[in-house]
Amino acid sequence: MPHQHTTPDHVNPLARLLALDALVHEELIKQAVAVALSHTDIASVARIIDVGVGTGAGAFALVEEYSAAHVLGVDLDADMLAGVRQRADHRELGDRISTALLDVGDPDFDAGVADLIWSSNVLHEVRDPAVALRNLFRSLRPGGVLVVMEMDASPSVLPPSLQPVERALRVAAGADGLRVDWSGPLRAAGVDLLETRTAASDQLLPADGAAGEYAALELQRLLDHASPTLTEQIAAEVRDLVADLSGSHRRLTELHIRGTRTVWVARRL
Ligand SMILES: C[S@@+](CC[C@H](N)C(=O)[O-])C[C@H]1O[C@@H](n2cnc3c(N)ncnc32)[C@H](O)[C@@H]1O
């Protein structure tokens, strides 16, 4: 297994955002795992591949439910994989979770064969999703199940009074209406589409905890991607909110965090 230098979550903003996302949107992962469980027999799932494992939120939720399974976390980011191994060791799950540095878009992708493949918020990042889907299909045993999840749009984090600001920011960042539909490409890859489900969470959370840090990072990420169509007035308002959520003056005490994701479940015939 290739080992490279590692960057801890607190200095890797993407890893930090993903870790906070998993915490704040834990309910969405639970809902998606429940969908996977409804289509699989726990005893017949010995090997799971989590493609684009990131910080491992899916992998850790899956080993908990599939008590006899081993999870291989695949990613093309060596730092992410090192973080997953560290967390697995820390939770004494080092013998149940391993990692492999692989690109699912590589035509020679080989992660072995799995009973269950999970891929959350990854396929939209892959250069040629058709190649990736063929790879996933090849990596499933006959009868094996594939679970793909994607965000329907960027999550929203601000309370109702500030939603016009957040909406303008999302539009300027091109993060509104991101919805991708993998139903057609999944069928084209040769799997039998069993179900498409929406997972949703809607929570009021205190702004001074993990939700505040998450919201600040998410708003800053959108600001970094915003086009010049964003007015200076809104940009200034967002900068102020990011500072506020980072602890500068605490104008906001409560956040309204909402997220929806689509879950596709398919089976290799
Ligand atoms: C948005 S994160 C999602 C992480 C995790 N699955 C989750 O839901 O929290 C996307 C992850 O997919 C990985 N990734 C992107 N393209 C990939 C590819 N072609 N092959 C393998 N991993 C990939 C990224 O490095 C990143 O860790």
The domain spanning residue 53 has which CATH number? 3.40.50.150
- Angstrom CA distances, 64 to 37, 57, 104, stand at 12, 11, 25
pLDDT band at residue 6 under the 50/70/90 scheme = very low
Neighbours of 123 (CB within 10 A): 23
| In-domain check, residue 246 | no
Are 191 and 17 spatial neighbours (Cβ–Cβ below 8 Å)? no
The number of domains in the chain is 1
Q: Which residues pair with 13 in a beta bridge?
A: none
Convert the pLDDT of each residue in 24-36 to its tens digit. Answer: 999 999 999 999 9
Range name among 13-17, 96-100, 130-134 with the lowest pLDDT average: 13-17
Alpha-carbon distance of 133 to 123, in angstroms, equals 8
The whole-number pLDDT of residue 249 equals 66
> How many Cα neighbours within 13 Å face the side chain of 22?
16
Angle, nearest 10°, between helix axes 57-65 and 26-38? 50
Task: Name the residue of 16, 62, 76, 103 to mutate for ligand 1: max ligand atoms within 8 A of Cβ.
Answer: 76
Are 168 and 215 spatial neighbours (Cβ–Cβ below 8 Å)? no
Alpha-carbon distance of 63 to 85, in angstroms, equals 14
Alpha-carbon distance of 58 to 55, in angstroms, equals 8
| In-domain check, residue 66 | yes
| In-domain check, residue 158 | no
Q: Where are the alpha helices (DSSP H) in the chain?
A: 13-24, 26-38, 57-65, 78-90, 129-138, 163-172, 183-188, 210-225, 232-245
pLDDT band at residue 4 under the 50/70/90 scheme = very low
Structure tokens given for 179: 């919805």
| In-domain check, residue 90 | yes
| In-domain check, residue 219 | no
Name the residue at shortest CA distance from atom 5 of ligand 1.
Answer: 54
Q: Which domain holds residue 131?
A: 9-153+178-202+258-268
Convert the pLDDT of each residue in 216-228 to its tens digit. Answer: 999 999 999 999 9
The whole-number pLDDT of residue 11 equals 58
Alpha-carbon distance of 138 to 111, in angstroms, equals 10
| In-domain check, residue 118 | yes
Name the residue at shortest CA distance from atom 10 of ligand 1.
Answer: 122
The whole model's pTM is what?
0.92
User: In degrees rounded to 5, what are phi and psi of residue 42?
Assistant: -50, -45
User: In degrees rounded to 5, what are phi and psi of residue 112?
Assistant: 80, -170
Alpha-carbon distance of 183 to 188, in angstroms, equals 9
| In-domain check, residue 134 | yes
Average pLDDT, the chain: 92
**Which atom of ligand 1 lies at the shortest distance from residue 106's CA?**
19
Structure tokens given for 249: 């003056």
Which residues have C-beta atoms less than 6 Å from ligand 1? 18, 22, 52-54, 57-58, 74-77, 80, 103-105, 120-122, 125-126
| In-domain check, residue 33 | yes
